[in-house]
Amino acid sequence: MTKLDRPAVPVTTTLDQPIEMRDGTILRADVHRPAAGGTHRTVLVRGPYGEQVFRSQPIGAFLHAGMAVVLQHCRGRGSSDGEFVPWENEGRDGADTVAWIAAQPWSNGEVVASGTSYLAGCALQLAAERPAGLRAVVASMTPHDFYEGLKYHGGAFAVGSAFHWGSLQGLLGVLHGVAGGRPPGDGFATLLRVLAEPDEALRTTPVRDMPGVSEMFPFWRDWTDHPERDGYWEGIAETLRHDRIDVPVLHTAGWFDVFLRGTLENFRRIPGGRLIIGPWSHLSQASGAGELNFGHAAAAATALLEPAQIEFLSGSTEGPKVRYFTMGANEWREAESWPPPGSTDTPYYLHADGTLSPGVPEAGASASAFVHDPDDPVPTHGGGLLLPDPVNVGPRDQRAIEERPDVLCFTTPVLSADVEVTGPVTAVLHAATSAPGADWTAKLVDVHPDGRAMSVTDGIVRSPGDRTRHEIDLAATSQTFLAGHRIRVEIASSNFPRFDRNPAMVRADHTVFCDAARASRVILPVRAS
CATH number for 252: 3.40.50.1820
The total number of structural domains in the chain stands at 3
pLDDT of residue 212: 86
Beta bridge partners of 180: none
Answer yes or no: do 62 and 183 share one domain. Answer: no
pLDDT in 10s for each residue of the chain, 529 residues:
888 888 889 999 999 999 999 999 999 999 999 999 899 999 999 999 988 888 889 999 999 999 999 999 999 999 999 999 999 999 999 999 999 999 999 999 999 999 999 999 999 999 999 999 999 999 999 999 999 999 999 999 999 999 999 999 998 998 898 888 888 877 788 888 888 889 889 999 999 999 888 888 889 999 999 999 999 999 999 999 999 999 999 999 999 999 999 999 999 999 999 999 999 999 999 999 999 999 999 999 999 999 999 999 999 978 899 999 999 999 999 999 999 999 999 999 999 999 999 999 988 878 999 999 999 999 999 999 988 788 899 999 999 999 999 999 999 999 999 999 999 999 999 999 999 999 999 999 999 999 999 999 999 999 999 999 999 999 999 999 999 999 999 999 999 999 999 999 999 999 999 999 999 999 999 998 7
Establish if 36 belongs to a structural domain. Answer: yes
Spatial distance between the Cα atoms of 287 and 300, rounded to a whole number of angstroms? 8
Interior angle at CA 306, CA 300 and CA 310, nearest 5: 160
Count Cβ neighbours within 10 Å for each residue of 134-153 and write b for 16 or more, e otherwise.
Answer: bbbbbbbbbbbbbbbbbbbb
93, 96, 145, 257: the catalytic one is 257
193 shares its domain with 285: no
Q: Are residues 112 and 185 in the same domain?
A: no
pLDDT in tens, 433-462: 999 999 999 999 999 999 999 999 999 999
Model pLDDT for residues 336-363, shown as the tens digit of each residue:
999 999 999 999 999 999 999 999 998 8
117 is catalytic: yes
> 365 and 325, same structural domain?
no
Is residue 449 helix, strand or coil?
coil
How far is it, in rounded angstroms, from Cα 449 to Cα 460?
A: 28
- 370 plus 348 within the same structural domain: yes
pLDDT reported for residue 488: 98
List Cβ neighbours of 282 (8 Å cut-off, separation of 6 or more): 117, 141, 254, 256, 257, 258, 259, 384, 385, 386, 393
Whole-structure pTM value: 0.96
- Asked if residue 284 and residue 311 are part of one domain, the reply reads yes
122 and 261 together in one domain: yes
Whether 1 is covered by a domain: the verdict is: no
Strand partners, 420: 480, 527
Shared domain for 174 and 98, answered yes or no, is: no
- DSSP characters over 112-141: EEEEETHHHHHHHHHHHT--TTEEEEEEES
Interatomic CA distance for residues 443 and 455, integer angstroms: 7
pLDDT of residue 202: 93
Task: Please report the pLDDT score of residue 194 as a whole number.
Answer: 85
As a whole number of angstroms, the distance between CA 143 and CA 153 comes to 12
Residue 4 in any domain: the answer is no
Listed residues 292, 313, 335: the one ending a domain: 335
257 is catalytic: yes
Given this model, what pLDDT does residue 184 score?
82
Domain presence at residue 232: no
The C-alpha atoms of residue 283 and residue 139 are separated, in whole angstroms, by 15
Give the pLDDT score at 284. 92
Alpha-carbon 145 to chain mean position: 11
Domain range for 168: 156-226
The alpha carbon dihedral of 447, 448, 451, 455 has a sign of: negative
CA distance 140 to 353: 42
Contact 250, 306 (CB under 8 A): no
Q: Is residue 323 part of a domain?
A: yes
Catalytic residue among 153, 282, 372, 510: 282
- pLDDT value of position 93: 98
> Are 140 and 263 members of one domain?
yes
485 is catalytic: no
Last residue of a domain, one of 226, 253, 287: 226
Indicate if 450 and 348 belong to the same structural domain.
yes
For 20, 24, 31, 212, 450, the CA distances from 81, given in Å and listed in that order, are 10, 10, 17, 24, 57
Nearest CA-CA partner of 147 in 161, 157, 136, 132? 157
Residue 6 belongs to some domain of the structure? no
Q: Is the same domain home to 128 and 55?
A: yes
Domain boundary among 207, 226, 245: 226
Cα 211 from Cα 109, distance rounded (Å): 48
Contacts 24+ apart (CB under 8 A), 405-408: 405/370, 405/371, 406/370, 406/371, 406/372, 406/373, 406/376, 406/378, 406/492, 406/493, 406/494, 406/510, 407/370, 407/378, 407/490, 407/491, 407/492, 408/354, 408/368, 408/370, 408/490, 408/491, 408/492, 408/512
Q: Could you give the CA distance from residue 450 to residue 468 in angstroms, rounded to a whole number?
A: 36
Q: Are residues 17 and 131 in the same domain?
A: yes
Instruction: Please tell me which residue in 79, 80, 114, 117 is annotated as part of the active site.
Output: 117
From residue 321, give the alpha-carbon distance in Å to each of 175, 263, 268, 333.
Answer: 43, 15, 12, 11
- Classify residue 5: in a domain, yes or no: no
Report how far residue 425's alpha carbon sits from residue 61's, in angstroms, rounded to the nearest whole number.
Answer: 37
Give domain status of residue 231, yes or no.
no
**Dist CA 476 CA 468 (whole Å):** 24
- Residue 416: what pLDDT? 98
